[in-house]
A and B are shown apart, each in its own frame.
Chain A
């Protein structure tokens, strides 16, 4: 009824190949952008920004990055935490070495540095695949964390090994540090997330994405039809690490403000982002958002309901939270192995036929 392509005629190739070819989809997308950019900034306070929106936006970027590597190119990686740490420490070194440069460029350059490191650790993927590659990237995770803990140059020789983000402004408005107003870091992250999502979406549905998917589906066949595994795999590592690095830089500078590498970027971080894309849906940009939203908001929601509304003891609530989130993950994966993105696809299919199903 509302949701159909019938009658929606395209007269140009550009119109036909746009990201959201169905009118209803497109308007929904514009509406969400409008709410995100023009409504939420006026409504949020410190709690909403720091507890919900910043982690959601930043994890979405990381999930998009990891999804390119795992979901689109089929290279399993457990090094996300380590690559986020590269982004964070690169951003910290840039912020303290070149305080006059705009923070926006620092974040992008931090992503670039992570891309280089990612390619380096992606080299083994040319020879090994599957579980073996996962173990190789696991080594990257542990090596990078160890490196940032071991070499004092990375944390500017501070006594404790903690790095903390100095105050930086964009157009005269603080986006990092303690004196920020709630909407500024939110909009800063939202702009970067929007750009990342648009770039990722267009990369994955273009030639590059098709090469990645060819490698994922069957690398020998892909090589026979002329896809270079070297270029495809390393470009996937580079692009993925870029986004993960940007997420790490934002995670440190805008969200937490002070981090310690072992605690903030440990192996659990790698697993968290991997769970996000598995629950959200491998090989789907929307899935990255859905997975990040699910894993960021679910614990906060449960905590607020159990402790805030029902008044349970905090430790009981914390234990129950683990149980419920774990059970939900298992249930989801049994009922819909392709994640939340697949649920959304099925829902759209149903909507398309409604109200006259076959």
Chain B
């Protein structure tokens, strides 16, 4: 009982003091736990971009940004706690960076009228804005990723991969299972063979999977991994001397910390992406000047320019641009979560805008609409150069198989709508 009373008292202190007249962006980050290696650079990039906006421009449209970080440890229970703790502070948009937490927040946030931006993760069929009014996953989703990988294989094989063997090494969870349906549809269309190799959480033990790859000798290996699973897989691939240029990871399996442990043997490993990589953008000068040099960088400040740092920064940039759009639509600086949702739905990114922001060609140009919350689904390919220790894009943002993905999205979102009796919007 005493603990309970003490908690009540502390909680009451905490619940008081609401922040007014700030744009609140919660960051459900994970700097601890088995997936921290990926969570830290993303959270740093997300935080640094908002710090930059505050320091350089005085916020978004003159209203300062308040970033509320909450540690989830990639754990859904803690994610719930974080959501409830930040929602009362006027949170504008949630980016949980976890498939499990996203699934959980989809109905909750919709009921609370707060948008979710699951950029390149979460529930793929949320691209159907008619059913998922508050969930956005632009500019690309897992099914685009699966199709993008196959398209890349088609391109490098002269449009014919009939009879080729493709193995999918995936995290045995909701996240890893996402591409299977799409890949199965694509096997019918293009006539390649698919082998499924699940790896259980957290993914340190992959000997049997790679033994099977060694025995069956697939032509290509695709990977849906996250956290320590990526490093282990790349190391194992190197151990069985699997040709790295035939090993393609999803965008969550292609960061510096995934390939560095394998050293030179990781040279040539490829990964998909929906945004550009590297430090060769004018925005990094601003970040250096207004954030890092002032000692305001998030975390240890050593992640600037990493793949996942760029992704966090890109997510923050899209959120900030959506907030700007919302401010224009509603003619007020201090927008609410509901207005933020309108801004996200009206978001339009083009090359001129990105250049103006100091991020030319950083991501694809796209428009969000009420029906399409998923963007165009353009997918690029990056490759690791172990010599210079850099990722570089070897294939620009290219379209994916909209026909196959579109019908799968309709099917899955339709099932969700039927299960939860949701009627279609956007009429």
Q: Which residues does A use to contact B, with CB under 8 Å?
A: 45-48, 50-52, 55, 96, 149, 158-162, 164, 166-167, 177-179, 255-260, 262-264, 266, 293-294, 297-298, 300-301, 303-305, 307-309, 313-315, 317-319
Contact = CB atoms under 8 A, between A and B. Distances in A.
B177 interface: yes
A31 to B, nearest CB: 11
Q: Which residue among B11, B69, B123 has the maximum number of chain A CB atoms within 10 Å of its CB?
A: B11
B32 A179 contact: no
Contacts of B11: 47-48, 52, 304
Given A160-B177, A167-B420, A315-B32, A258 B10 contact: no
Contacts of B40: 315
Most buried by B among A177, A294, A308, A319: A308
Interface of B: 3-4, 6-7, 10-11, 13-15, 29, 31-32, 36, 40, 69-71, 73, 75-77, 80-81, 83-85, 87-88, 99-100, 103-104, 106-108, 110-112, 123-125, 172-175, 177-178, 180-181, 200-201, 299, 412, 415, 419-421
A319 B103 CA distance: 26
Contact of B4 (A45, A50, A262, A293): A293
A309 B412 CA distance: 44
B420 A161 contact: no
B96 to A, nearest CB: 12
6 contacts: A50-B83, A257-B107, A260-B173, A314-B69, A315-B31, A318-B31
A318 B69 CA distance: 12
A297 B100 contact: no
A263 B10 contact: no
A216 B420 CA distance: 47
A303 B72 CA distance: 11
B116 to A, nearest CB: 12
A179 to B, nearest CB: 5
B14 to A, nearest CB: 5
Contacts of B103: 160, 162, 164, 258, 260
Contacts of B106: 258
A314 B69 CA distance: 7
Which A-B residue pairs are the 8 nearest by beta carbons?
A: A315-B31, A178-B107, A178-B111, A160-B174, A314-B71, A47-B84, A51-B81, A258-B103
Contacts of A166: 419-420
A311 B73 CA distance: 18
Nearest to A174: B111
A47 B85 CA distance: 6
